[in-house]
């Protein structure tokens, strides 16, 4: 296990992050009501659009079409509290204990929370979808894009994640097992997980960072590779779905992609985390995962369906970079 005397305090991390995070634009009551209503409407519209664009129908049928979880429109503080709870549900006692680690995670969540637009959380009940209202509003304005189009575009991405976990009921447990195993292996090898969190915080703040991969042995590096490859599939697939929604539905779709690509290339949470892992070139999650999905679909429209059947069917890191190798392994 983690070897820490004190269990990680998710509630405290969430509370501290909620105090630290800049709240962003604070609307008046009427504006807030309209924003919340509009985001709920976007989430409702997005689910069937995501199912069609992500081609999830057959996989959902196989899984018995589970009922969708709730959609919550939250502020940044609400997202931070939910993210801390989700992290504990995912990796549990493998998290380092003590006030220092709690404070470091709180700072990391506070920085990330200004950039996160939405999140599907599979570790709360049967899953819940969070849309971060002030960030969707502010980032949309900063990119100078149509608010309604942007809200629907983001919602399609997050609803695709909801559909992935619905189609693969084993996926949340698999990711939890892989992440927990990696962290427990690190702790068992004497790695200071609080130091890893500290490196993450420095990276998020734009300071020097030590790639996590440099701290790992070969077996641990393989575990990290499996997690990042799975995340590349999930994020790339969701990005492909966003871009597959017809332009008659999201009229500014092409402009949204151009603006988001420029924003990601300039920085952001995903790039920081990839850099921290030492895999910026190998696992650019959105870009490489999207290329993988498109190449697999070119081979056969239904070729990706097998990925949702069992953990052994997920692509490895090498296969994300070489979709033909994954197709040779998974198709008769």
The pLDDT tens digits of the residues spanning 61-106 come to 999 999 999 999 999 999 999 999 998 888 876 776 677 778 888 8
Q: Report whether 148 contacts 249 (CB < 8 A).
A: no
**How high is the pLDDT of residue 264?**
67
N residues, the chain: 332
State the residue for tokens 């939890």.
176
Cα(136)–Cα(270) distance, integer angstroms: 17
Q: Report whether 259 contacts 154 (CB < 8 A).
A: no
Q: Which stretches within the chain are classed as H helix?
A: 10-20, 29-53, 57-62, 76-91, 99-112, 133-143, 147-167, 171-188, 193-204, 218-244, 253-266, 269-277, 285-299, 317-321, 323-330
The contacts of residue 109 (CB under 8 Å, 6+ apart) are: 13, 14, 17, 21, 80, 83, 84
**How high is the pLDDT of residue 277?**
43
Cα(312)–Cα(207) distance, integer angstroms: 38
**How high is the pLDDT of residue 102?**
83
10: left (phi over 0), alpha (psi -120 to 50) or beta: alpha
State the residue for tokens 């995501």.
50
**How high is the pLDDT of residue 279?**
42
Closest CA to 287 of 270, 273, 302: 270
Cα(174)–Cα(216) distance, integer angstroms: 21
Cα(242)–Cα(160) distance, integer angstroms: 9
Q: Where are the domains of the chain?
A: 10-330
**How high is the pLDDT of residue 28?**
87
Question: Which positions of the chain have pLDDT values less than 70?
Answer: 1-8, 93, 96-97, 188-215, 264-286
The contacts of residue 229 (CB under 8 Å, 6+ apart) are: 283, 314, 315, 316, 317, 319, 320
Q: What are phi and psi of 48, to 5 degrees?
A: -65, -35
**How high is the pLDDT of residue 97?**
67
Instruction: Give the predicted TM-score (pTM) of the model.
Output: 0.88
Q: Report whether 63 contacts 167 (CB < 8 A).
A: yes
**How high is the pLDDT of residue 110?**
87
**How high is the pLDDT of residue 282?**
37
State the residue for tokens 């369906």.
305
State the residue for tokens 């990005």.
239
157: tokens are 């991405």
Cα(69)–Cα(259) distance, integer angstroms: 30
Cα(323)–Cα(332) distance, integer angstroms: 15
State the residue for tokens 């009427």.
30
Complete DSSP assignment for 23-48:
------HHHHHHHHHHHHHHHHHHHH
């Amino acid at each position: 296990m983690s070897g820490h005397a004190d269990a990680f305090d998710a509630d405290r991390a969430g509370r501290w992050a909620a105090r630290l995070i800049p709240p962003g634009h604070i609307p008046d009551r009427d504006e807030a009501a309209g924003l919340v209503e509009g985001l709920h409407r976007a989430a409702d519209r997005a689910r069937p659009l995501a199912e069609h664009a992500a081609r999830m129908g057959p996989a959902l049928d196989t899984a018995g079409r589970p009922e969708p979880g709730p959609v919550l429109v939250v502020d940044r503080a609400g997202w931070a509290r939910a993210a801390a709870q989700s992290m504990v549900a995912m990796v549990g006692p493998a998290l380092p204990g003590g006030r220092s680690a709690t404070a470091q995670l709180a700072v990391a969540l506070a920085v990330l929370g200004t950039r996160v637009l939405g999140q599907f959380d599979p570790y709360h009940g049967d899953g819940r979808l969070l849309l971060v209202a002030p960030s969707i509003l502010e980032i949309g304005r900063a990119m100078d894009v149509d608010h309604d189009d942007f809200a629907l575009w983001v919602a399609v991405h997050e609803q695709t994640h909801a559909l992935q976990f619905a189609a693969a009921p084993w996926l949340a447990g698999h990711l939890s097992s892989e992440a927990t195993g990696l962290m427990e292996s690190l702790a068992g090898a004497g790695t200071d997980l609080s130091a890893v969190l500290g490196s993450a915080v420095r990276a998020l703040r734009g300071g020097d960072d030590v790639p996590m991969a440099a701290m790992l042995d070969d077996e641990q590096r393989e575990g990290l590779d499996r997690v990042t490859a799975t995340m590349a599939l999930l994020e790339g697939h969701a990005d492909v779905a966003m871009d597959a929604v017809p332009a008659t539905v999201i009229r500014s779709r092409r402009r949204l992609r151009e603006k988001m690509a420029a924003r990601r290339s300039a920085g952001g949470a995903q790039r920081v985390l990839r850099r921290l892992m030492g895999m910026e070139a190998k696992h650019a999650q959105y870009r490489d995962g999207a290329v993988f999905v498109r190449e697999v679909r070119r081979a056969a429209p239904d070729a990706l369906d097998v990925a949702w059947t069992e953990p052994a069917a997920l692509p490895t890191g090498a296969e994300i970079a070489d979709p033909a190798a994954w197709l040779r392994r998974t198709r008769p």
